[in-house]
Structure 1
Amino acid sequence: MTTSLYPELDEAALAQIVSALESGNTSGLAPARAEEVTQARTAARFRLVRVPGAEGVELDGALWVQSGDTPAPVVVMPAPWADLGWVAYAAQATQLAAKGYNVLAYTPRGFGKSGGEVEVAGPLDVQDGTAAVDFVLENLPAADTNQIGFLGDSYGSGISLLVAAADPRVKAVGALSTWGSLFEAFHENDTAHTASVDALRGAARNARLSERTEWAFGQVRNGESPSDELREWASERSPLTYIDQLNQQNVPIFFAHAWHETLFPVNQTLELFERLTTPKRLDLSIGDHSSPEMTGLIGLPNRIWTDAHHWLGHHLKGETNGITESQVVSEIMWGKALESHQDWYSAVGAPAGFHLTGPAAGGVDGGLADKPANGWSTTVSTGTDTPATVADAIIKTGYAEMLGKPKTYPTGQIDRTHAAVWTGEPLTETAKVRGTPSLRLAFQPSAADTTFIAYLFDAAPDNSASIITHAPFTVRGATPGEPAVADIRLQAAGYDAPARHRLMLVVDTEDPFYRDANEAGSAITFSSTEGSPSRLEIPLA
């Protein structure tokens, strides 16, 4: 069971920062942290607070109040999904205070020392965010009421977006590792993302989940077809639902996301980003949920937090810091080069089509060709996992990726009775995958309910591989034996596959990240016909 969404977070070091803020004794801090605390204490007064939230619930928090009478901008920081609550922001809030901001960091209801129950960014959490703004304005006479921003990581980012949609006083948002559609994050292509719910429940083991939250998590966990009630629950908690309000209020929003995000996969956040007409920026990085910005949480230099500070500085303080020069900045797997583009459309490559073919004479795997080759079929049995998986572990695999050690997949060990494999010819030059690959796959299920997962790999000459992207797919209530077609959008990727490597598509029926709908003893036949050609489309720069 996952016990933390922040396995590398040094809680003791953050507690030391809080202690130094209260006492002024910085002797136990690293020199850089000691200097930041000293600067913050010179610029602002620090104190612990209880924030009156909705329905009489009190929220645990901390306040950095700028000295003097000159109005100063405000940053409100709802905490991540973690027991330590607002303390996770001790370093970042201190840095912001040293830069001249009034800062309120608070723990959402149900976590840590806050009252109430966890509502997963529900209406009460939004009311709490608005109440937090009220609290700041009532207690800080020198707060600039026209320059209020929200900045949050993970859970705090979703709350920030929802509050911004509801409260016109919010003039800028920083949303790191956020979500656009909670339903799409939990039920991608009608496939229950049980690993996400398990991770959230594990990380909230000491929190107080509301009865409604327990119900919703249970609905996802059982893997059944989602009810309308669950869709409504998720919609109410999804920033995409409030896209018109965000656009009408023209709230400038900064996003940061990881390519291999396993908690809130990137496509649903990209949809939110694309539909916004407000000033916006997106930083995409190697790693998994919150891992690219982790070093910044403990105060170390970090590109994402630096950009978030610049975003707030530009939109709340009028600073000229170059932050709007590019709207999309991508860190490319695995070379870590940064690419800058004015928008997502400019970042995406041109579609290149690869037709799925049957195996060559004497072969087992199909091919990826530039011309159609129909009339073949291959059958796989369900119920057995293969080495083709999303990751070894939610979040933790992303840390290894950041260190340049992506998971290695032994493609030769993928059992072809339980997986279908198509491999392209060796690349003559680097294949720059930029955007959202898509797959059209003709199939014939032997059972009414069927799940399969498509993985796109970069296979090296030694047959080891790295994952580029993936997506699950589930169909329910099909007619056994009847041909069908799946149109699947894989998760977006920024990836360079080197020359002499091969692109490899693998489709199997089990993955520990998802609850499959396969019936025991069932099988799936994949094929390609003139009427239903199977085709992989990859955007290549």
Structure 2
Amino acid sequence: MGNHRKALRTTAVGAVSATLIAGSALGLAPAAQATSNGVRFVDITGDGGTVLKGNVVTPADADGTRRYPLIVLPTSWGLPQAEYLVQAQKLADTGYVVVTYNVRGFWQSGGEIEVAGPPDIADASKVIDWALANTPSDARHIGMAGVSYGAGISLLAAAHDKRIKAVASMSGWSDLVHSIYSGRTQHVQAAALLRGAATVTGRESPETRQAFDDFFAGDVAKESDLIAWGKKRSAETYLDQLNRNGAAIMLANAWGDTVFPANSYTDFYEKLTVPKRLELRPGDHATPEIIGLLGLPNDVWTDTERWLDHYLKGEDNGIDREQPVQLKSRSKGGYGGGYEGYPDWKSVAATSRKIDLAGTTTIHANVDSGADGGIVLLSSILDQLIQVPPVASIPLLPRRWAAVWQSEKYATAQHIRGTAKLHTTVTGTKESGTLVAYLYDVGPLGLGKLVSNAPYSWYGQTPGKPFGVDLDLFSTAYDVPAGHRLALVVDTVDPLYIEHNPSGAQLTFSSPAEDPSYVSIPLREQ
């Protein structure tokens, strides 16, 4: 568990970033209060009588004789009710009644943190009830939107409340288990960041406290309980209800989201049968939306407003005629460069190319080789702003602790779009273990820039007996320049994740003739 403690210490950097984000949101309040139609601060009775602190912004021309579309915005995890005031004002200025509220358990709202549990879902409906009774809002035109925690609650609410006709879910999740426990591996930095924010700004319920404790303990005996807890809080579980209710759903996320990886949204998007849109950009958790919260021009919030305008107001703004999948390559930067449109997610990668993982390679566990996924929030922000992802010198990676395979040099640029897939055969000397796979773009001097990564853990395997591993790396869009090559690196320790390698463990990777090992690279044809 030494690496576990190291990872927890590393999250201090991420916690500082989160604090800065929260501070920026707090700074929005004075600007919003200065508007002509003002902001009403209200108490809303949520589920079970819990008092939720909220804000109401109405159109300046509201005179009690007409009704306006309603938008409800639940706050993000750990952020105060001032979070959305600038965007709420902008939406009110275009003809919406906007109600934002602090979710239960945080800041001045009552109750305890339920992590988007049934009380949070019920709260959303109670807020709608309150708005219809106390504002000039139209019961026929109701939407929800939010960032992060607010995004997840909005999706869940739409599955349970038929009155919701449109949703914009920004940097949220559809499958909570997949997000923080993909590959049966605890994403420890992300979870520590969430728990740290909850400790500072809120009050955990007993169920939430137990779920976090079990998560960090890494006890596989509690795995089924953790999965059941997460499924109750995942829109994926209520997919049939969402499709039946018919709300138009826009999903927006960042390629480098270290809290809710983009894969969760892409898989979920394909299963939706309602009007839908998927947008993916460079960045980390909630970073594409930040400047919009400050009131500056922002693609995510602009498209959110267009989405709501079309499906709540009936405006013919063309968003329904655009290609519904909109991607921006990480190589084009977070705020510049153009978008690529696709009819669906499966069309993003027109073809694929395999890199053979030939030969037999043995590595020792328990030591970080120097290949890693970076630091939660910080690394992908740097990639978003200045296109500097985590790097590693591929020739210098110690082969005792890292397995390395490389492609040939590419004569032309390779446009990676989608989900790279690893297939290999592993033989361990212990019954449990963890591996982390990394895909690097390697330049002429051997410096590798991280393209994608993902962890994988196993339990109860027979020592010395080979078993197959199939692992989806986190989805991405990345352009490999001509003259570069790709490298797949596998090691056993990464500060982002809890490792389950017993002391002294060794892993052997092989490529049997009847079942060759490879990594499949999804490519866009030019």
State the TM-score, normalized to the length of structure 2.
0.93
Alignment-derived partner of residue 51 in structure 1 = 44
2: CA distance, partners of 1:471 / 1:16? 36
Alignment-derived partner of residue 177 in structure 1 = 171
Identity among equivalent positions (%) equals: 37
What displacement does 1:15 show? 4.6
What displacement does 1:17 show? 4.5
The answer to whether residue 4 in structure 2 is matched with residue 11 in structure 1 is no
Match of 1:211 among 206, 214, 219: 206
Matched to 1:136, the amino acid is A
The answer to whether residue 275 in structure 2 is matched with residue 279 in structure 1 is yes
Match of 1:63 among 56, 63, 75: 56
2: CA distance, partners of 1:482 / 1:9? 48
Alignment-derived partner of residue 34 in structure 1 = none
Alignment-derived partner of residue 366 in structure 1 = none
1: CA distance, partners of 2:139 / 2:145? 16
**Conserved? CA contact 2:330–2:384, under 8 Å:** no
**Conserved? CA contact 2:177–2:227, under 8 Å:** yes
2: CA distance, partners of 1:16 / 1:351? 47
The answer to whether residue 93 in structure 2 is matched with residue 98 in structure 1 is yes
Q: Report the secondary structure of 2:54's partner residue.
A: strand
**Conserved? CA contact 2:31–2:86, under 8 Å:** no
Cα distance change of structure 1 residues 478 and 161 upon mapping to structure 2, 3 Å threshold: same
Alignment-derived partner of residue 187 in structure 1 = 181
What displacement does 1:519 show? 0.7
**Conserved? CA contact 1:223–1:516, under 8 Å:** no
2: CA distance, partners of 1:15 / 1:413? 45
Q: Report the secondary structure of 1:319's partner residue.
A: coil
What displacement does 1:199 show? 1.0
The answer to whether residue 245 in structure 2 is matched with residue 249 in structure 1 is yes
The answer to whether residue 378 in structure 2 is matched with residue 396 in structure 1 is yes
Residue pairs, 1:96-495, within 5 angstroms: 96-140=91-135, 142-206=136-200, 207-225=202-220, 226-324=222-320, 325-336=322-333, 337-357=338-358, 376-391=359-374, 393-404=375-386, 405-495=388-478
1: CA distance, partners of 2:522 / 2:186? 27
The answer to whether residue 78 in structure 2 is matched with residue 78 in structure 1 is no
Gaps spanning 5+ residues in structure 1: where? 25-36, 358-375
Q: Report the secondary structure of 1:292's partner residue.
A: helix
Matched to 1:55, the amino acid is G
Deviations 1:120-159 (A, max 9, x none): 000000010000000000102x311100000100000000
Alignment-derived partner of residue 33 in structure 1 = none
Gaps spanning 5+ residues in structure 2: where? 1-11
2: CA distance, partners of 1:409 / 1:105? 44
More RCO (CA 8 Å, sep 6+): 2
What displacement does 1:96 show? 0.6
Q: Report the secondary structure of 2:260's partner residue.
A: coil
Alignment-derived partner of residue 8 in structure 2 = none
Match of 2:506 among 511, 515, 523: 523
What displacement does 1:477 show? 0.5
Q: Please say which structure displays the higher CA radius of gyration.
A: 1
RMSD: 1.5
1: CA distance, partners of 2:211 / 2:21? 28
What displacement does 1:11 show? 3.0
1: CA distance, partners of 2:444 / 2:76? 42
Cα distance change of structure 1 residues 103 and 4 upon mapping to structure 2, 3 Å threshold: farther
What displacement does 1:437 show? 1.0
What displacement does 1:296 show? 0.5
1: CA distance, partners of 2:482 / 2:134? 61
2: CA distance, partners of 1:399 / 1:440? 30
**Conserved? CA contact 2:372–2:390, under 8 Å:** no
Deviations 1:468-499 (A, max 9, x none): 11111111100000111101111111111011
Alignment-derived partner of residue 3 in structure 2 = none
1: CA distance, partners of 2:228 / 2:467? 29
2: CA distance, partners of 1:264 / 1:521? 32
Matched to 1:11, the amino acid is G
What displacement does 1:330 show? 0.6
Matched to 2:331, the amino acid is W
Q: Which deviates the most, 395-404 or 208-217?
A: 395-404
Deviations 1:318-362 (A, max 9, x none): 1122222121111102124421112112222312222112xxxxx
2: CA distance, partners of 1:524 / 1:406? 28
1: CA distance, partners of 2:272 / 2:511? 38
What displacement does 1:60 show? 0.7
Matched to 2:254, the amino acid is A
**Conserved? CA contact 2:329–2:477, under 8 Å:** yes
What displacement does 1:19 show? 3.3
**Conserved? CA contact 2:26–2:80, under 8 Å:** no
Q: Report the secondary structure of 2:507's partner residue.
A: strand
Cα distance change of structure 1 residues 330 and 8 upon mapping to structure 2, 3 Å threshold: farther
Matched to 2:54, the amino acid is G
State the TM-score, normalized to the length of structure 1.
0.90
**Conserved? CA contact 1:3–1:205, under 8 Å:** no
